Amino acid sequence: MNQLDALKQHTVVVADTGDFKQLSAYQPQDATTNPSLILKAVQKPEYAPLLSTEVAAHRGRPLDEVMDHLLVHFGCEILAIIPGRVSTEVDARLSFDTAATVARGKRLIAMYQAQGISKDRVLIKVASTWEGIQAAAQLQQAGIHTNLTLLFAFCQAVACGQAKVQLISPFVGRIYDWYKKSAGAAWVEADKAAENDPGVQSVVQIYNYYKHHGIATEVMGASFRNVGQITALAGCDLLTISPDLLATLAASDAPLLPRLHAPAARAMDIAAVHYDEAGFRFALNEDAMATEKLSEGIRAFCVDAIKLEKLLLAA
């Protein structure tokens, strides 16, 4: 049994890509997308017709609406291949606007439903700002499932649990990147591998907290830099993995055992935490890594959304 098959015995494997032609090789349960992945995909010759099709079908409509049609087109193509759910992201430029995020999430779901896709097969992806988390709470109350992304801090995870969101995506690799850069020459890779990786430790803390307190929100580790981060989180609810790392797992027959266990977490002594808006903002501000990576991530997604819009205008 290769490592990918072994991982699937303990964790739901999710493909992190907009390149849906790669999906069948790895047979993931779910798939996630974001503006950067869609931008990367539409610049490939085999996907250019999707962009042209949506521009032609919705010419004259507002640009943000055409963009959402393109995202939904990719999502529908992905859902034709996988058995589970696809995550489709709300424009990152709305990350601090609760009402606009709710409206955009509802519009995306309506577009999917117009294509015959059940809302239960779609996760609306929202940045884990305070405003985004409140928007997700409203979407959840409306029966729309959400995936809270760009999650770097424990306080973000706690607030998401309070909001009863469907799923969170803590970013393992970007946490690792920040600590490695911060340490500079003092960083010793071997000492920060596997369970000592700060990104892995973040997910483990969140997973144990959720399981101990009976929080139903699913934990999906994301943004991996190496296979060691993935294998160290075997047993997590879900892991979303890029095609290149899926290929590496599929090519290895090294042993893989679960590292995270819900029964063990339930037996731990973990105090409950609650955040109101002021407490959340202060806790996030106190975490330099999370503050920087959240802002950086939103900016990067905004840049790629604008690039995608320019391609739509040029088509």
Which CATH number fits the domain that encloses residue 231?
Answer: 3.20.20.70
Domain membership flag for residue 26: yes
Domain membership flag for residue 68: yes
Domain membership flag for residue 314: no
Domain membership flag for residue 315: no
Catalytic residue check, 310: no
Domain that holds residue 160: 3-309
Which residue in 21, 40, 106, 125 is the catalytic one?
A: 125
Q: Structurally, how many domains does the chain consist of? A: 1
pLDDT of res. 84? 98
DSSP string, the chain: --HHHHHHTTSEEEEE-S-GGGGGGT--SEEE--HHHHHHHHTSTTTHHHHHHHHHHTTTS-HHHHHHHHHHHHHHHHHTT-SS-EEEEPPGGGTT-HHHHHHHHHHHHHHHHHTT--GGGEEEEEE-SHHHHHHHHHHHHTT--EEEEEE-SHHHHHHHHHTT-SEEEEBHHHHHHHHHHHHGGG--GGGGSGGG-HHHHHHHHHHHHHHHTT---EEEEB--SSHHHHHTTTTSSEEEE-HHHHHHHHT----------HHHHHTS--------HHHHHHHHHH-HHHHHHHHHHHHHHHHHHHHHHHHHHH-
Domain membership flag for residue 12: yes
pLDDT of res. 5? 97
Domain membership flag for residue 257: yes
Domain membership flag for residue 264: yes
pLDDT of res. 35? 86
The parts of the chain modelled with pLDDT lower than 70 are none
Domain membership flag for residue 286: yes
